[in-house]
Amino acid sequence: MATFKVKSLDSGQPPDWSNLEVLHRNTLPPRAHFFNYASPSAALSYDPAQSESTLSLNGQWKFNYAPSPNRVPDGFHQPEFNAAAWSEIEVPSMWQMEGYGKPHYTNEPYPFPVDPPHVPMDDNPTGSYRRTFKVPGEWVGRQVRLRFEGVDSAFHVWVNGKEVGYSQGARNPSEFDITPFLDFEGENTLAVSVYQWSDGSYLEDQDQWWLSGIFRDVNLLAFPKTHIQDFFVQTLLDDQYRDAVLKLDVTVSGPGSINIQLLDADKTTVVLSTTLQASSASTVTTSHPIPTPHKWTAEDPYLYHLVLTFNDQQQTLAHRVGFRTATIRNGIFTVNGSRILFRGANRHEHHPTRGRAVGEQLLRHDLLLMKRHNINAIRTCHQPNDPLLYSLADELGFWVMDEADLETHGFACVEEAALAEADRRRPYEERKKMIYGAAARWTSDNAVWEKAYVDRMKQMVERDKNHACVVMWSLGNEAFYGRNHRAMYAWAKERDPGRVVHYEGDTQAETVDLWSWMYPRHDALREFAEGWDGVKPLVLCEFAHAMGNGPGAFREYMDLFYEHPCLQGGWVWEWANHGLEHTTPDGETYYGYGGDFGDTPNDGTFVMDGLVRSDHSPAPGLLEYKKAIEPVQLIAADAVSATVVNRYDFLTLDHLSCRVAVLGDGFVEQLGETVVPTVLPGAQGAVALPNGLADAAASRPGSYLQLSWTLNQDTAWAAAGHEVAKHQHLLTPFPADEDERPASSSSAAPIAATAAAADLVITGPVSTWRFDLSTGLLASWKKKRPAAPAAPAVSEGQGASGGKEGLELLHSPPTLTFHRAPTDNDLGGAAKDWDEKLLHLARPHCRSARWHTDDSDARTVVVETQHRYAPPVLEWCVWVETKYVFYSTGEEDADADAVRIEVHARAEGKNLPQTFARLGWEFGLSPEAGVERAEWFGRGAGEGYRDKKLSQAVGNWGARIEGDGEGNVLWTEYEVPQEGGNRTDVRWVRFLGAEGGRRLTARFVGGEGNFSASHYQAEDVAEAGHPWELRKRRREEVVVRLDVEHQGLGTESCGPGALEEHQLKVGEGSEWEWGMVLS
């Protein structure tokens, strides 16, 4: 194949993509993002399709993929080149998602040999793009620009066979003046060569997929020969934050008049109208007082409209303007003089089938979903996002930390590999101190890289400087710290002194304007706050790592943020799982992670760590976050009033409605709406409750007050009636548990027991139990078959009828279990101890089993057992004494016969596990039982754990054991299989057949517990890497777990483990007692 001869190779000079002296060739200076229009009315549409000065080049392009720049077809950029045999590719897109090359995921390591600024010459996949276009006739005499919003990672451009220029900086725009190269009468050929690797790749080592191509919009833009080149609008509020000054810098390419209009939100009311004269190519500055403007905040994103018209509508552009000041005042980050709290999320650009070519539909979906879950802040990790994000954030209301396209984490891998073996075994924080200084010397503290660093800051700031939503700049992420960060900071402060600058890598806040931490322990935050020097606040740029089943302890973080003004919230890591659509050998579609595409080296599942799934549907963690950050907090209540705190930063509560209900086991009574008082931000207020509440609660033990707070008007992000907060408060306690056995023989039913060898058979009116005295376990439970419905929707066959002997409930006997399939957070911490202590191998060993009739009531049969639960090899154990009381209530229904199980357990031995994952019973429900559904009273409808349950309300709930995604399902299918589906604070649960017949009911004695039910054992889940692999392990039986205690989740996949109060602690002599009734 003929190849394109790279000019730099022939000259002996390094190619542009490996040359620190060449960041751009022939690109225009960076500027604010805007489009030109023919009139103010068209400009105010903010729709590029309404611009006669814009021609989109998105769509189908001819495409060729080569393994190296040296293998590009010779002369492909020439108009006469025949590309008929080339395939077509959609622009924008990432070529790996279109079948060329493969996606590659790393968190830290560079996927190419580390030799900065050089990248491989022979292994640098290159995409050649071609398309043709015609210039609109009315553009003759104008300057025509070619603008790429994002190309990964570097590219050359040709028009009509002539080289236009070069650019790099994958997530920043590049703009070229192509006027001299155009044929204004005929067809023009545009050719682009995109290189997967460049010296810029060393600065783009973010925790995401390595993907390549033209992945954002491409446009032709027409400008008058003399035009507005750029503008910078600043809103300066006075010391009382009442009046403002609109400061405007307009850069023009030549002399002319600039008409300035500021319109109110209705786009018609004129707030300001003036005209400036520019005598030459220059920047003209003007300032105008604006009395008492409506201020912009993330809670009330009120926008004015700035319209600039140059030389009598030769050029018109518009931009939304929000009046706000964001600064640090008395050591606190404030907006318009008020402290704000960042309730944020880190948002990478991700689409499950398009990579980083996200598009407007998914972007809008993300931001609406965030708003509806009370999220108020976005960190554009770790690069500037698509320009549309900032416009939407202005409109919908978000605080945005705009982050430069800069991360060099891979140098830490290089330095760590050079450590002595003993040092590599040190704790992470110790290793970090040993290697980060050396890692910085590669680029961050290396003067020859300064221009590249500062360029990335310039590109971002100039593009996004006019957005009200952008309240702080960030110098990048995990690029250590050095002189080049100081240079970035200095440039940003000179260009835009009104914004705060952030960078977590400046660990001592030596240069930047605020402290920033990642994944701290709760006690570390408290320690910082109590010793705070009053100079700079602290934010958490990453916290609550949302990987898999978690995060835990959201509320505890929020309590600290509310308690200490210097702790100003943070951004959860992260918004979305980054799974990419892939197929199994059998053709089943699933979401793949690192290694699934043959990418080596890789960081596996670490890319699956979002509050939403790969398809951007909510995961359980998002619901918990919404609850933790809800803007109304209940702190006390009785039957007369409720005391709440307004957690908004600016809004009062009277934009909400509050619906009141009283509920309990088996009832919900709606009591209507109550009057919502005007409670100021941060203040407490009393909400009067309906008169009937006291009577409704007093007559029903176990009654809860429920308050539902909803929008009372439509907003840009949700309709009236959308719930922003919900509270429940127990008003009347549950009654004490009583012995449910009948008190008189007249209502009792006989229980018979016969023993033969090791089998004890116990018979009641409905049930027949078989107890294995050799194992000390309940081996069988058969119930008379349920009455058949008149017209069953689903035939359960002979198994459901149970034959003459009844319906067998048990597939395996109830035994205690202490283990769970590890979550991602367990794997980061507790699971290591569980594995070392062989927790998953602990089995019961029967020491005694005896039975008798109850001395005080001959209608019951009592079995008492003693077991030693222990794993092989080790000597630790749990001694368990269990008392089974078999009886019948005398009722003629499926729950008539019951067994009350009372447990006393004691841990002993050397080298016990530090914690248990769970403590409770596990057993299999036989396929014959046909169990397909569960009903319960407790928290629901979704899963809950000790430290992740507040989003789940107490009530009566129901769910299927499994399903196709429609309706509520007990099992939570995480994209990386792990423990899931637990329901907590449960008082009772009932398992039902397809026809609704009751099979088994479990009630926790004296309180509440947990349950889960699925078709998987813990080892099935633990050994499966993907849901499709887990489904192949599906068991016919339903595996039920009834836990009296369950370990919390924490965030130890990257952060602290479960808080001590959420751990199921174990030590020598630890004891537990509990009971439950099965019927």
Q: Is 1025 exposed, middle or buried (0-12, 13-18, 19+ CB in 10 A)?
A: middle
pLDDT digits (tens, 9 = 90+) for 27-39: 999 999 999 999 9
867 and 1005 inside one domain: yes
Q: Residues in the chain, how many?
A: 1079
CA distances from 753 to 743, 832, 852, 865 (A): 21, 46, 9, 17
Is residue 182 over pLDDT 90?
Answer: yes
Question: CB neighbours of 292 closer than 8 A, spacing ≥ 6?
Answer: 242, 243
287 and 376 inside one domain: no
pLDDT digits (tens, 9 = 90+) for 666-703: 999 999 999 999 999 999 999 999 998 998 888 899 99
Within 10 A of 730 (CB to CB), how many other CB atoms are there? 14
858 and 926 inside one domain: yes
259 and 391 inside one domain: no
637 and 621 inside one domain: no
Measure the CA–CA gap between 87 and 61, rounded to whole angstroms: 8
Pick the last residue of a domain from 192, 216, 240: 216
**Angle made by CA atoms 347, 349, 355, in degrees to the nearest 5:** 145
Within 10 A of 361 (CB to CB), how many other CB atoms are there? 9
pLDDT of 5: 47
**Residue 522 DSSP code:** H
663 and 616 inside one domain: no
Measure the CA–CA gap between 286 and 65, rounded to whole angstroms: 51
pLDDT digits (tens, 9 = 90+) for 379-419: 999 999 999 999 999 999 999 999 999 999 999 999 999 99
pLDDT of 738: 62
Q: How confident is the model at residue 890 (pLDDT cuts 50, 70, 90)?
A: confident
986 near 734, Cβ under 8 Å?
no
Measure the CA–CA gap between 336 and 242, rounded to whole angstroms: 9
- Is there a domain that residue 209 lies in? yes
851 and 969 inside one domain: yes
For 401, the token pair is: 């930390």
Domain containing 484 equals 341-408+443-577+608-626
- Is there a domain that residue 1019 lies in? yes
CA distances from 292 to 244, 297, 362, 669 (A): 7, 15, 37, 47
| Short-list 663, 557, 552, CA closest to 944 | 552
Active site residue 542: yes
Note if the pTM is more than 0.85. Answer: yes
171 and 290 inside one domain: no
1044 and 966 inside one domain: yes
349 and 309 inside one domain: no
What is the arithmetic mean of pLDDT over 306-327? 97
SS3 readout for 341-378? CEEEEECCCCECCCECCCCHHHHHHHHHHHHHCCCCEE
For residue 864, the domain's CATH number is 2.70.98.10
Q: Is 534 exposed, middle or buried (0-12, 13-18, 19+ CB in 10 A)?
A: exposed
CA atoms within 13 A on the CB side of 181: 23
Percentage of residues in the chain having pLDDT higher than 90: 91
Within 10 A of 9 (CB to CB), how many other CB atoms are there? 13
Is residue 277 over pLDDT 60?
Answer: yes
- Is there a domain that residue 740 lies in? no
pLDDT digits (tens, 9 = 90+) for 702-745: 999 999 999 999 999 999 999 999 999 999 999 887 655 555 44
- Is there a domain that residue 416 lies in? no
Catalytic residue among 108, 149, 504, 542: 542
953 and 1017 inside one domain: yes
pLDDT digits (tens, 9 = 90+) for 285-297: 999 999 999 999 9
Measure the CA–CA gap between 904 and 883, rounded to whole angstroms: 9
Instruction: Give the count of domains, the chain.
Output: 5
For residue 144, the domain's CATH number is 2.60.120.260
Pick the last residue of a domain from 216, 238, 261: 216
pLDDT digits (tens, 9 = 90+) for 823-874: 999 998 999 999 999 999 999 999 999 999 877 776 899 999 999 999 999 9
Question: CB neighbours of 995 closer than 8 A, spacing ≥ 6?
Answer: 786, 788, 789, 792, 793, 794, 796
| Short-list 452, 451, 498, CA closest to 472 | 498
Pick the last residue of a domain from 675, 702, 732: 732
pLDDT digits (tens, 9 = 90+) for 203-227: 999 999 999 999 999 999 999 999 9
For residue 345, the domain's CATH number is 3.20.20.80
- Is there a domain that residue 616 lies in? yes
Q: b/e string for 374-412 if b means 16 or more Cβ within 10 A? A: bbbbbbbbbbbbbbbbbbbbbbbbbbbbbbbbbbbbbbb
Within 10 A of 477 (CB to CB), how many other CB atoms are there? 26
| Short-list 959, 961, 1000, 993, CA closest to 801 | 993
Catalytic residue among 98, 395, 478, 979: 478
893 and 1038 inside one domain: yes
Beta partners for 194? Answer: 127, 155
- Angle at which helix 360-372 crosses helix 387-396, to 10 degrees, equals 30
pLDDT digits (tens, 9 = 90+) for 61-70: 999 999 999 9
- Is there a domain that residue 899 lies in? yes
pLDDT digits (tens, 9 = 90+) for 489-534: 999 999 999 999 999 999 999 999 999 999 999 999 999 999 999 9
pLDDT of 313: 86
Work out whether strand 338-339 and strand 515-518 pair parallel, antiparallel, or are unpaired: unpaired
What is the arithmetic mean of pLDDT over 134-159? 98
428 near 225, Cβ under 8 Å?
no
Q: How confident is the model at residue 11 (pLDDT cuts 50, 70, 90)?
A: low
For residue 298, the domain's CATH number is 2.60.40.10
- Is there a domain that residue 805 lies in? no
- Is there a domain that residue 754 lies in? no
CA distances from 296 to 272, 293, 324, 553, 730 (A): 18, 9, 6, 32, 39
pLDDT of 995: 86
pLDDT of 789: 46
Measure the CA–CA gap between 1003 and 936, rounded to whole angstroms: 10
pLDDT digits (tens, 9 = 90+) for 575-630: 999 999 999 999 999 999 999 999 999 999 999 999 999 999 999 999 999 999 99
